[in-house]
Amino acid sequence: MSLLRVNNVTRTFGSLVAVNDVSMTVEPGELRAVIGPNGAGKTTFFNLISGFFPPTAGTIEFDGRDITAWPADRRVAGGMARTFQITEIFPELSVRENLRIPVEVALGLRLRPWLGRAQDATIRTRVDELLEMGGLTGKADRLASELAHGDQRATEIMMSIALRPRLLLLDEPTAGMGDQETYDITRLVRRLHRDGKLSIVLIEHDMRVVFHLADRIMVLAEGAMLAEGTADEIAKDERVQAAYLGKTE
């Protein structure tokens, strides 16, 4: 059974058609990329999947359930997590504290006025696991605001992983990064996919990242699906080259 099925979704804003009759299927353990030029509808498509907007038409299924009407928080509780183009962390807290918050949420302990010793030990152990997984152990007690952009992004990704999602949506995870930071985040995403057996859908502009990571790629243009296939198929598609990769006749 497919993990995610997006069935002919459309989203309009007045007379603007931001997403037009787009379908996508994500299998368990798949890493899927969504690419396209600016204004192609990629982030709106992510907003439909993650529950920030309802589709004007079409349906969305997750793990065999129709979640079209589910709000974002219910989708998170059901096993879906998402990062954003602009990094969403708590800058005034340490990296460790940033990770502790979603760990408590995942354990159903958030806003408890008192935690037992065993519960606190469980939280600490899980936070340490996430720090190591994200390559952040040496920066655990630094304020998130003091970190380089790549480490802030890694912190945000690990905050999402703390929720134990079955599907992770990454919106431009390497945006604004230099070569080394891009390499580090790409390695992290690959590790989460391979070692964690995590299903991932990402929006990304850096074609080096897309072609290195993605099992399959979907190309959007003007709100509609232009092409879909493997990295090799997409690289050779003349429609994609004309619309996105910059080929001219």
pLDDT for 130-161, tens place per residue?
999 999 999 999 999 999 999 999 999 999 99
CA distance 4 to 22: 13
Contact of 243 with 37, CB cutoff 8 Å: yes
Question: pTM of this prediction?
Answer: 0.91
What is the mean predicted confidence (pLDDT) over 2-21? 97
What is the mean predicted confidence (pLDDT) over 197-217? 94
What is the mean predicted confidence (pLDDT) over 64-78? 96
- The full set of domains in the chain, from first to last, is 4-245 (3.40.50.300)
Q: Which two tokens stand for residue 90?
A: 């708590």
Instruction: Look at residue 249 in the predicted model and tell me its pLDDT.
Output: 45
What is the mean predicted confidence (pLDDT) over 234-247? 78
DSSP 27: -
The angle, 0 to 180 degrees and rounded to 10, between the axes of the packed helices 179-194 and 149-161 is 10
Measured CA to CA in angstroms, residue 114 lies from 102, 106, 117, 150 at distances of 17, 17, 10, 34
pLDDT for 72-113, tens place per residue?
999 999 999 999 887 889 999 999 999 999 999 998 876 666
> What does the buried/exposed string (b/e) look like for 14-24 if buried means 16 or more CB atoms within 10 Å of the residue's CB?
eeebbbbebeb
